[in-house]
Amino acid sequence: MALVVNDVARGAGTGYDHTVSRARLATALEASLALRLQNPFQRTVRQAMRAVVAARLMPPPRAEMAAWSTWWRGLPRVLRSDRAAALALFVGVGEGYPLEGGQRRMQAAAEWIAGPCDAAAELASRSLRVRDRLERIVGISPAIRSLRAAAWAAAFGDRLDRTLALGSMLQSTPVLILGETGSGKELIAQALCAAAPGAWSNRGGYAAGHADAVNLASLPDDLIFSALFGHRRGAYTGAGGDRAGVLEQCDGGAVFLDEVADLPLKAQVALLRSLQEGRVRPLGADVDVAAAPRVISATHRDLTAAVARGTFRIDLYYRLSSVVLQVPPLRERTEDLPLLAETILRAVEPELRPVILERFQGFLAGPGADYRWPGNVRELAAVLRTLALGLEPRLLDLADTRRPDLPLAIQDGDWTLDEVKRWYVRQVAELHPTRAAAARQLDIDRGTLRTLLKT
């Protein structure tokens, strides 16, 4: 990347005045075009992009359409007939505008392009929607910046001009989002759902792809089948009509399965089958129907522990976890607190915001100084609400019960007594130089210790 930037920067000093050789200009423009199509949340890409814009090889965001027209006309003919160039143009003209404003500019740009450009305009619209969603994940910490870059890659791969070619592979690559409760898993899921292919028409604008969400923890077991796979009339008492499940409804789009660790074992088998075959059989139906959405799932639980315990199928775990995104807890990104607070405070009247912000600043300097935010961003919102009422926030410090050195499954109460016993025996054995010393600590004989370590 550094080579590209330097090359671009050197060749670009003269901007559009064409005093550089045409070959040199073509190379620089091709490089700027390639940059436009890369992951916008990646540090190297951002830096290179700035260099390119600063060198006037590409108009900056929200530039006049005339500047984009000049840029487009300056591209060598061979590039202008390339779909990648059309894609770069649509992303460029739409960037920095609300959806409708960006669409209007894309419509205008579509007139400059010879040949069909619907696929490029659709992908450009989609990429701007996803970028908008990811930018709503507020934060400047390295952890959250890496997460945004990884989520973008999960949505589109490393270059937008290859995304359409990757289409079916991306669609069949599930994403698993892990993170504590309240940490923002749903925002990532919404961004990935916005990456579902939609439709673009240069008259009607952009229609988003089909996407829906199901919270599996909130549904009774017997309704989960119906919600996911659908049912036919009379399949069970109360099934008054045909109903398509969410997997069928979102065929070709995306579905978000929240709290996937709470999926009952029987439903896990059916979900695995549907993921493998791209089809489901609704309850009471004789034939399968097409149902191949991209599956985005999330959980705050330790799924590998659930696999070890036998409550989550290992084959489904592997199927769902092709891409794993880990959302950092708020205590690991406290530098994001001020920006997060401002964003949350936009829900109250403007004249109240300064007062609440002042109270929050006082809270952070006082009782909240070393707070670990066990409820993450959701808890931050609750604290701000309490402060808005002029009350003292009630801090739920789980330091005594939530310890980073203990497995999450223990803290969540997910293990059986036997599992806890086996884990603890291994811990103690590792902490002592001899088995005799470990046995003494555990108040058991060495033979029992050996037996426990083997299980």
Question: Which residues in this chain contact another protein in the complex, by CB under 8 A?
Answer: 43, 46-47, 50, 54, 60-62, 94-99, 101-102, 128-129, 131-132, 135, 138-140, 142, 145, 339, 342-343, 345-346, 349-355, 357-358, 361
Q: Where are the alpha helices (DSSP H) in 157-292?
A: 160-171, 185-194, 221-229, 246-249, 265-277
Between the CA of residue 109 and those of 98, 118, 228, 359, what are the distances in Å?
16, 12, 41, 49
Minimum separation from the CB atom of position 36 to another protein (A): 14
Tokens of 61: 């965001």
Strand partners, 159: 38
What are the residues facing 213 on neighbouring strands?
256
Judge contact between 102 and 142, C-beta under 8 A.
Answer: no
φ/ψ of residue 281, rounded to 5: -115, 110
CA-based nearest residue to 144, from 400, 333, 344, 406: 333
Alpha helices in 211-286 (DSSP H): 221-229, 246-249, 265-277
- Determine contact, residues 162/212, Cβ cutoff 8 Å: no
Interatomic CA distance for residues 293 and 278, integer angstroms: 8
Q: How far is the CB of 418 from another protein (least distance, A)?
A: 47
Minimum CB separation from another protein for residue 350, in Å? Answer: 4
Nearer to another protein, 79 or 143 (CB): 143
Shortest Cβ distance from residue 346 to another protein (Å)? 6
Q: How far apart are CA 312 and CA 324, in angstroms?
A: 17
Q: Name which of 50 and 446 has its Cβ closer to another protein.
A: 50
Q: How far is the CB of 122 from another protein (least distance, A)?
A: 14
Rank residues 165 and 355 by Cβ distance to another protein and give the closer one.
355
Provide the minimum distance between the beta carbon of 426 and another protein in the complex, in angstroms, as a whole number: 40
Kindly tell me which of 99 and 153 has the beta carbon lying closer to another protein: 99
**Comparison of 139 and 245: residue with beta carbon closer to another protein:** 139
CA dist 292 and 297 (Å) reads 15
Structure tokens at 295: 């599956």
CB of 45 to another protein, least distance (A): 11
Report which of 125, 123, 72 is spatially closest to residue 98, judged by C-alpha positions: 125
In this structure, are residues 330 and 184 in contact, taking their beta carbons and an 8 Å threshold? no
Min dist. Cβ of residue 10 to another protein (A): 16
| Contact (CB, 8 A) for 412 and 302 | yes
Burial 220-243 (b: 16+ CB within 10 A, else e): eeeebbbbbbbbbeebeeebeeeb
* Nearest residue (CB) to another protein, 143 versus 307: 143
Smaller CB separation from another protein, 300 or 359: 359
Q: Measured from the CB of residue 368, what is the shortest distance to another protein in angstroms?
A: 16
Nearer to another protein, 99 or 324 (CB): 99
User: How many angstroms separate the CA atoms of 66 and 375, rounded?
Assistant: 49
61 or 367, CB closer to another protein?
61
Structure tokens at 9: 């920067």
Q: Would you say 103 or 297 has its CB closer to another protein? A: 103
In the complex, least distance from residue 343 CB atom to another protein, rounded to whole angstroms: 6
